Amino acid sequence: MAEMITNPRSFGNPEKVHDALGWLRANQPVTQIITSEYEPFWLVTKHEDVTEIERQANIFRNGDRSTVLIPRDMLRAVESVMHSPHLTRSLVNMDDREHRIYRSLTQSWFMPGNIKKLSDRIRTIARAHIDRMLARGGECDFVSDVALHYPLHVVMEILGVPEEDEGRMLVLTQQLFGARDPELARDADAFKDTGKALAMFQAVLGDFHDYFNKLTEDRRINPREDVATVIANAQIDGKPISERDANGYYVIVATAGHDTTSASTSGALWALAERPDLLKRVQDDPSLIGGLVEEAIRWTTPVKHFMRTATEDYELRGQKIKAGDWLMLSYLSANRDEDVFDAPFDFQVDRTPNKQIAFGYGAHVCLGQHLAKLEMRILLEELLPRLKSLEIAGTPAWTQSIFVSGPKRLPIRFEAR
């Protein structure tokens, strides 16, 4: 069980992971996972419990230990090199006042009111990607031909990164998140040696930082209407934001903002390609697209987990969590919780309410959730009327990652109208 939950390869075969999580929800909903590779941690599998932990950000903190499950050797190596449990300083690794201050810098940018203003531009980007897809003449890999590039293009434009640099950003993000997937890693063999793995992560982050330092310099001299301008010119407690903090901010927005949305967009297409009845239903009634987006996000749950650290003893479902314990919040499991979702393994576009928790909850709830949903909705609004048929045309595959993962290949065949 512990091996299943902690081995990135398992996530290449999500059914098996779901079987294991289903068993845990029924039998050991809060359970301690002990392995040779990782520090022990509590695995929290129920929707209600994930929410209970996230609601109490004062007790279950982000800053004290890694917010992502990484091997024990790597944790130690990061601590010795960075003098902190984190490779970057970013929103997800902050707590309390500091977190509120940093989050408030861009919060209004990502609120529905502002994001809505971007609809026309996002629609233009969506149409360009769809035109390219349809020009492929009936077959494509939806992931590599559409889903990977569309959210990347949107988030890079919002951030202020020019189109010619997007390819580089995509590769760097995949190297950071899919770091152990042999097809995406910069150096998958590096994981045989902790020092090499850490050096590899630092090199990837170094590349991000080199790039973003230039962006900061430019936006201080030439302010624009983009998020980079907001970050580069931010003041924290009356002082200009430091290079390190600005970079941490760019990296979290740049990385959190596309692979995740690519995964859920591919999840939506996968469901439609498998179910002609569903495709027809949504084509006939586009008001269902909002529900389709929500369900695809639940179905795919691109972010599999985040970690928290308890600051005091706490009892959860009869388990005695001690101050200092590490907890994994399994969004993947919470989103299939039988106590919250009827027939959780069915893809239902008309689930109401759909209490999916793929964006987390509470103080750290996803900053980009409205943008992600808007992007998905616009793409589907533009694509679905242009399809006569859609089917799977090969064997889809999933990314092997315990953190962010989704479809890695989705070969489809389609007829355009």
Q: List residues near ligand HEM by CB under 6 A.
A: 54, 91-92, 103, 155, 252-253, 256-257, 260-261, 264, 297, 302-303, 306, 331, 358-362, 364-368, 371-372
The span from the CA of 56 to the CA of 59, in Å, is 6
The span from the CA of 183 to the CA of 181, in Å, is 5
CB of 366 to ligand HEM, least distance (A): 3
CB of 372 to ligand HEM, least distance (A): 4
Q: Which is nearer to ligand HEM, 99 or 209 (CB)?
A: 99
The span from the CA of 377 to the CA of 264, in Å, is 11
Q: Which is nearer to ligand HEM, 160 or 360 (CB)?
A: 360
Q: Which is nearer to ligand HEM, 118 or 297 (CB)?
A: 297
The span from the CA of 175 to the CA of 186, in Å, is 6
Q: Which is nearer to ligand HEM, 88 or 261 (CB)?
A: 261
CB of 50 to ligand HEM, least distance (A): 9
CB of 258 to ligand HEM, least distance (A): 7
Q: Report how far Cα 41 is from the mean position of its chain's Cα atoms.
A: 21
The span from the CA of 108 to the CA of 31, in Å, is 38
Q: Which is nearer to ligand HEM, 269 or 297 (CB)?
A: 297
Q: Which amino acid type is present at position 214?
A: K
Q: What letter would DSSP give residue 371?
A: H
Q: Among candidates 24, 20, 23, 42, which has minimal Cα distance to 319?
A: 42
CB of 386 to ligand HEM, least distance (A): 23
CB of 415 to ligand HEM, least distance (A): 28
CB of 206 to ligand HEM, least distance (A): 21
Q: Which is nearer to ligand HEM, 92 or 234 (CB)?
A: 92
Tokens describing residue 53: 């932990």
CB of 128 to ligand HEM, least distance (A): 19
- Please tell me the number of Cα atoms within 13 Å of 227 on its side-chain side: 31
Q: Which is nearer to ligand HEM, 216 or 414 (CB)?
A: 216
Question: What does 207-245 look like in DSSP terms, one character per residue?
Answer: HHHHHHHHHHHHHHHS--SSHHHHHHT-EETTEEPPHHH
Q: What letter would DSSP give residue 129?
A: H
Q: Among candidates 108, 58, 12, which has minimal Cα distance to 402?
A: 12
| Exposure class string for 277-311: b at 16+ Cβ within 10 A, else e | ebbeebbeeeebbebbbbbbbbbbbbbbbbbbbbb
Q: Which is nearer to ligand HEM, 190 or 367 (CB)?
A: 367
Tokens describing residue 321: 């969590």
CB of 86 to ligand HEM, least distance (A): 12
CB of 102 to ligand HEM, least distance (A): 8
Q: Among candidates 208, 211, 197, which has minimal Cα distance to 90?
A: 208
Q: Which is nearer to ligand HEM, 211 or 403 (CB)?
A: 403
Q: Which is nearer to ligand HEM, 46 or 197 (CB)?
A: 46
H helix runs in 14-117, sequence order: 14-27, 47-55, 72-82, 96-107, 112-116
Q: Which is nearer to ligand HEM, 20 or 253 (CB)?
A: 253
What is the helix (H) or strand (E) element at residue 44, kind and residue range?
A: strand 41-44
**CB–CB of 287/350 below 8 Å?**
no
CB of 154 to ligand HEM, least distance (A): 8
The span from the CA of 130 to the CA of 383, in Å, is 6
